Amino acid sequence: MDAQKMDLNLMRVFDALMEDGNLTRAGFRLGLSQPAMSHALSKLRTLTGDALFVRVPSGMKPTEHAMRIAPSVREGLRLLGTALEGNASFDPPGSERQFHLLLSDIGESVYLPRLMKRLAEVAPGISVRVLNRPREAYVEAFVSGEADLAIGFLPGLSAGFYQQRLFTDSYVCLARDDHPRIRKRLSLAQFAEESHVLIEPGGSSYVSAGHQTSTTTLIEQYVARRGLRRRIALRVPHFMIVPEVVQSSDLIATVPSYAIRHTPPRAGVRMLPLPFDVPQFQVKQFWHQRNHNDPGNRWLRSVIQELFSGD
């Protein structure tokens, strides 16, 4: 590939296609027509000697070569943007920046409504894109420049990351109001004997993980250390379906209390204290060291800290 013939616009086209996987959507984001995008992709293919993207039913799928060069292209664009910005201040009301957040589905339901309401008030041009990744892929998302911030219980983010505590949370049990065996209190024997719903994050290897990667890992390891055995009747990758399952069955579920207190209540489901000393965990926001001095990132961190700190 002749790097001297590669201009910035071609790099932006490549990066947009990697992110959107669709020629039309990527062009819309860049302000380019579909013919212009097709022409740019043709030039990229000629310069790289690779197809880069192939058509699939869902859009455009990157080739292996495209996957290899994508992190370097994104990092190059980021470095160039940083160099051109210098130490420029960030203007929230006038900005049209898009921020990329790593959130679980619990995080989406808990944090996004309040965050988007605040952004609409103080920075209406700013948009947010939520990235759905397994916890094990969070580091790569930050290193590649794909992610700006992550919120949650994320002990796997340590070296190379900054963190700020937002609040401390714990766990509660969910059961339906007319459960045939559970009344106003849940005993330790009932907890062990009842069938459970378990939230198993999609793509997570927490079952065999030796360290805590999520709130699910934390409570499962805690229960195991106490020698409690229980029947897991249902494993789901998302939190939002759990109250509905509990409401329509005799299953019970152990979930973070913050998620229940800050999402719309479901009729017929009640929250019960767990019958043992419940572990606590800290919910924090995380960012990579490369974003530490970025004015926009600093501003968004301050908004999140103001909204959720001490909840």
pLDDT number for residue 209:
40
pLDDT number for residue 149:
97
* CATH classification for the domain delimited by 171-279, as one of 3.30.310.40, 3.40.190.10, 3.90.1150.10, 3.90.228.20: 3.40.190.10
What's the pLDDT tens digit per position in 112-155?
999 999 999 999 999 999 998 888 889 989 988 899 999 998 98
What's the pLDDT tens digit per position in 37-83?
999 999 999 888 899 999 998 889 999 999 999 988 888 887 777 66
pLDDT number for residue 208:
42
pLDDT number for residue 270:
93
pLDDT number for residue 80:
76
pLDDT number for residue 130:
95
d(CA 5, CA 239): 49
pLDDT by residue for the chain (311 residues), tens digit each?
555 556 788 888 999 899 888 988 888 878 888 888 999 999 999 888 899 999 998 889 999 999 999 988 888 887 777 666 555 578 999 999 999 999 988 899 899 999 999 999 999 999 999 998 888 889 989 988 899 999 998 988 888 899 999 999 999 999 999 999 998 899 999 999 999 999 887 655 444 444 445 566 678 878 888 788 889 999 998 888 999 999 999 999 999 998 888 887 788 999 999 998 888 889 999 999 988 989 999 999 999 999 998 76
Domain boundaries, the chain: 3-83, 92-167+282-308, 171-279
The fold of the 3-83 domain, in CATH, is Arc Repressor Mutant, subunit A (1.10.10)
Strand stretches in 81-137, DSSP E: 98-102, 127-131
**Strands of 195-199's sheet, edge to edge?**
231-236, 195-199, 252-256, 171-176, 269-272
Same fold, 92-167+282-308 and 171-279: yes
Mean pLDDT rounded to a whole number for the chain: 86
pLDDT number for residue 201:
72
Query: In CATH, what class is 92-167+282-308?
Result: alpha beta
Strand stretches in the chain, DSSP E: 53-56, 59-62, 98-102, 127-131, 149-152, 161-169, 171-176, 195-199, 231-236, 252-256, 269-272, 281-288
